[in-house]
Structure 1
């Protein structure tokens, strides 16, 4: 064969153009258009338009592997299918009872022109408020195991703007204060990452259904071109899969306002339906706990003279819970293993053996008689191998004792999860270290959910992998942390700033519930250091920060000092039929309304940053023709969340009669807020 023919054959293999025209899918309202094709070098790509404007320019797709050639170019389109859905489904618990799933779908199959003719399919779903897509691989008889070195999915933004983000892949996992920067100044950030383009379009990048795959961080390659950067693995390959598989859904929320982001259900809709069957044993609830005293250094997790988890202390908390209507009492530090260095270690933790001064059976028996349930605590110190070896016995013990929920913990550096040098169900053959957001961690969290479900135990994971909507598939994954919570108000330097929660609403909380642990009514941390908050703001958190497990985090002695404020915490629900953003700006303020799932009552929470404000919000969501009584807990005259303790605790409690269409403009002090209970008037 001549050199000319060799060159021609090479070009024919790698530089041909697709035999099919570009395929596209449009959202049901016609505003979002996703186009999929290959370029002149056979590189698969997609684009996204919104309201006739470019949002994502040509964004490439592809993969690098550890043991085979890349899948980057030389592709053609060999198949195209379409579908649509317009249904709704019910959450067993949640921020909304009913979820509408209305989307149009396009699936485009690409084939590479090499000797193996490798294929993958891009499946896109276009909703009115954004898109989700995943890449699907067929099984290969000649190569059953796929080892992904890197996923090359791009997000090539059409224009610059503002981003709210936390660093990705750093030591402290997801527990950072959000930064507000130009989009073009980002480096590697965790998702969800929220953006506002120069033309006013709001975007949020995340993923859904992270199952047996590595989580991704959004990495800016250059300019406004971003790429999925998969979390590392000890195995070299970041993802190892056998047979046919698909990536998680890559999601992009697209909206004209922050409200469009807040009210999106895309990530839930992209998860599989409930696999656990009857989950009536999952109980959304409020709880108190042996916790804040440890963060204040008054008590200790480890054994000794100041040990917090004693039988005596726990019974006192049970009595308080019974008196004030709290279903749960969290007990941390009850089990052996806390003595010594456990951070990023966890080798000595037992999840069935209590310290001698904590009588587990006596405590759970006492709680049962009082109508209270103990919430267990299984801190692993990041040692998932040790926990997996014991978790079945631990959850079986929990069920026997009537412990219906367990708070798990993974306190270690981001790359410090201790795993076995073997598959998840094999005996440990030596320790290796994995990342909190890697494939091994994704496998672990689902294994925990499934094992706990066998014993009707719900999970509240702290220092977890990020939330990607898996609570739809495994409804016992009721809550998780995965962000900077209230413990930083005890000892953090700095403490959570006033802008933190108004930012979380439009970033981390877009991915799902967060156990922020609110309700520190004393407003002081360790060594009496002041917390930037008013007391009314602490009440607002119960509406603003969604979680089906809500803690009144302060000590019972402090909670008892504020009976009028505690009354709101006792009253506010944790399970909702509707959730609405009434007004808000990212990082500045948020006003949220939620309707109780079990009554016709509504609750409103408002928080602001360091700027006092009184946004006017309409009550147009109330039933027409009905009269309601609104009880308001607001910042009092002279209140200041950045001022003295007296100024922080100034509160006004008042009652108004309201109806549909009325307007509320309740003033919020600096670092302040308010809470409102709106109950139908008695006839």
Structure 2
């Protein structure tokens, strides 16, 4: 290349950079309470966005990245600041349902920026991350055309994420094709944002993702410089949920489902999913009040991955409870579900299945082993019609027997069916004794769907019924605002073991560092038939789990879920009464949570405190591991250990486990040996030391 061309190119490049830097104006700088995390905010003339950078310590972690909101009624929003109010808060928040701990500290530095125009911005800096939200001040309703939020790390990154579309092996594609031919319309997705929010967690370098791929929130970036950046949201009210995609700057950005202008209620009652389909969309994402706060956008930034399963940041940013008065009817606990094992009981004197005798058996089982609820899942009514009850299931008899035994009753509903007579149905079944409803098949997170979740929670609260949402996005603090919405799915869990091999230990080990940050999750553990990679198979009514028995049990300690399901077969559990008694004693709410060790997708060691007793749970991927666990952070000098660990033959026979019973003191480390796909659960019981003899 001639030298004059090189010089000309250099001068043009310098001129371009000069124009970029001279038109950028630094608006503010704000640091976290511990001063380690710093956010800088910039504006540029004639830009639809403003820009931020994020530093931790002396290092730049997030390069210049845009944030913005485009409102139809105000196309020329100015980001010229006219006032800034800085503030700091340090308080305790006590959630009604302590999924992780009984209270958490809400300590942050904040600033509210008033801009020219109808949009202002609030930024909060916590020691573990940054959050911001837009604040509208328009007097009339508005249409939000677009919201921009990018996170562009400085260093090359890999991403832990769940995709909207589950990648299927060829044999599964053929199988699903046959199903589709038999049941026309079941997999007809004309609306690309329709999703069940249950796919396998992946781990890929960012450049390997296509720019059109849609991803769940939260998602976790891990840079080559060992920086962890988790992108999440909170307090999604009257607004679509956040969807993620890769950005053009080797990061990730937001996307949102368009506003549904028209919906079609299915008339085919042979398909129990009965999805309400979006048939027409607008060119905007939300139609809402102009005077309001918008959802929080969150970046958790840490070099220590143990921060992620422990943080309460999403919950801190949620709106306070909309449910008032006496809330003693919201009662966490363990609950059974018969759907995956297909009520496939044995050693019983009756024909097992979807019938009254089976559910009475479940009630006796729950009473025997200390669980609190049973679920009557899909199949108790027929053909999408709540008036056409299954004649083999006498709900009144089941409810009366449950009440006699002091056991709560749960009931499954298709969302479309329930919505047709929401008040009438909940009023009737709450009087019958139903304490919790599982509402399934909404499969969307556009604005209308997100508002429907609120409608369900409020109507359930009216009749003092707890709510579990399936085929729904992650909660993002919803359970703080609506504490009767005690849990939700939003994760690929045990039920997928019935027909796939997707629910692997590495998938299970990604969940605490991604999905669980958003709130409680209904994974439904407790499978008692367990398998290694080589011997795993799908048998309907007799499902296996990938990983060991202790791996399944550890989920009761590691996963946040105040309404924890037991998905195993009660007849099988009764053959192991000591194991089932131990499982039945697991708590579902906690006084404190400490992550002792962990790495996304690979392993975790969690300690939970309840009523003065610590519970330790550990899980690993397909790698055998040995941990020397330091228990000194628990503050116990002398203790007894009682629990379940992988058996010596668990690598070959994954259901093999053994009991651990020993004593130790604070000067000793606990050695845990985990098999491939293994786990452990140990109660750490404090004891008084024997007096010293003179």
Report what 1:651 is aligned to.
657
Report what 2:485 is aligned to.
477
- CA–CA distance in 1 between the matches of 2:194 and 2:586? 36
Report what 2:625 is aligned to.
613
Q: Does residue 1:209 correspond to 2:235, yes or no?
A: yes
SS at match of 2:247: strand
Report what 2:421 is aligned to.
390
Report what 1:123 is aligned to.
122
Report what 1:246 is aligned to.
293
Contact 2:55/2:61, CA 8 A, preserved across alignment:
yes
Any unmatched runs of 5+ in structure 2?
1-19, 165-191, 262-281, 531-536, 690-694
Report what 2:257 is aligned to.
231
Q: 1:197 to 1:540 in 2, by over 3 A?
A: same
Q: Does residue 1:177 correspond to 2:200, yes or no?
A: yes
Q: Does residue 1:82 correspond to 2:86, yes or no?
A: yes
The counterpart of 1:594, out of the listed 600, 608, 625, is 608
CA shift, 1:159, in A, is 2.1
Report what 2:317 is aligned to.
270
Report what 2:367 is aligned to.
322
Q: Does residue 1:579 correspond to 2:593, yes or no?
A: yes
The counterpart of 1:463, out of the listed 471, 485, 490, is 471
String of CA shifts for 1:80-117, please: whole Å, max 9, x gaps: 11111000021222210011000011112222xxxxxx
Q: 1:69 to 1:453 in 2, by over 3 A?
A: closer
The counterpart of 2:327, out of the listed 276, 279, 285, is 279
Report what 2:522 is aligned to.
515
- CA–CA distance in 2 between the matches of 1:296 and 1:438? 38
Correspondences of 1:324-339 after superposition (within 5 Å): 324-337=369-382, 339=383
Correspondences of 1:539-554 after superposition (within 5 Å): 539-554=553-568
Report what 1:664 is aligned to.
670
- CA–CA distance in 2 between the matches of 1:210 and 1:249? 8
Contact 1:296/1:526, CA 8 A, preserved across alignment:
no
Q: 1:16 to 1:610 in 2, by over 3 A?
A: closer
Contact 1:378/1:409, CA 8 A, preserved across alignment:
yes
TM-score by length of 2: 0.83
Correspondences of 1:492-511 after superposition (within 5 Å): 492=500, 494-511=501-518
- Worse-matched range after superposition: 545-554 or 39-48: 39-48
CA shift, 1:449, in A, is 0.8
- CA–CA distance in 2 between the matches of 1:327 and 1:19? 60
Report what 1:639 is aligned to.
650
Report what 1:150 is aligned to.
146
CA shift, 1:530, in A, is 4.7
Structure 1 segments (4+ residues) deviating >6 Å: 15-20, 295-298
Q: Does residue 1:354 correspond to 2:350, yes or no?
A: no
Any unmatched runs of 5+ in structure 1?
1-14, 112-117, 299-304, 340-347, 415-435
Report what 1:681 is aligned to.
687
Report what 1:11 is aligned to.
none
CA shift, 1:48, in A, is 1.5
CA shift, 1:19, in A, is 12
Contact 2:93/2:316, CA 8 A, preserved across alignment:
no
Report what 2:439 is aligned to.
408
SS at match of 2:341: helix
SS at match of 2:434: coil
Contact 1:24/1:106, CA 8 A, preserved across alignment:
no
Report what 2:157 is aligned to.
161
Greater relative CO (CA pairs within 8 A, separation 6+): 2
Q: Does residue 1:96 correspond to 2:101, yes or no?
A: yes
CA shift, 1:541, in A, is 1.4
String of CA shifts for 1:290-327, please: whole Å, max 9, x gaps: 323329799xxxxxx99943211111111111111211
Report what 1:58 is aligned to.
64
CA shift, 1:622, in A, is 2.9
Report what 2:14 is aligned to.
none
- Worse-matched range after superposition: 648-657 or 147-156: 147-156
Report what 1:364 is aligned to.
399
CA shift, 1:164, in A, is 0.4
SS at match of 1:444: helix
TM-score by length of 1: 0.84
The counterpart of 2:41, out of the listed 25, 36, 47, is 36
- CA–CA distance in 1 between the matches of 2:425 and 2:506? 40
Contact 1:286/1:574, CA 8 A, preserved across alignment:
yes
- CA–CA distance in 2 between the matches of 1:677 and 1:667? 16
Alpha-carbon RMSD across the aligned residues, in angstroms, is 2.5
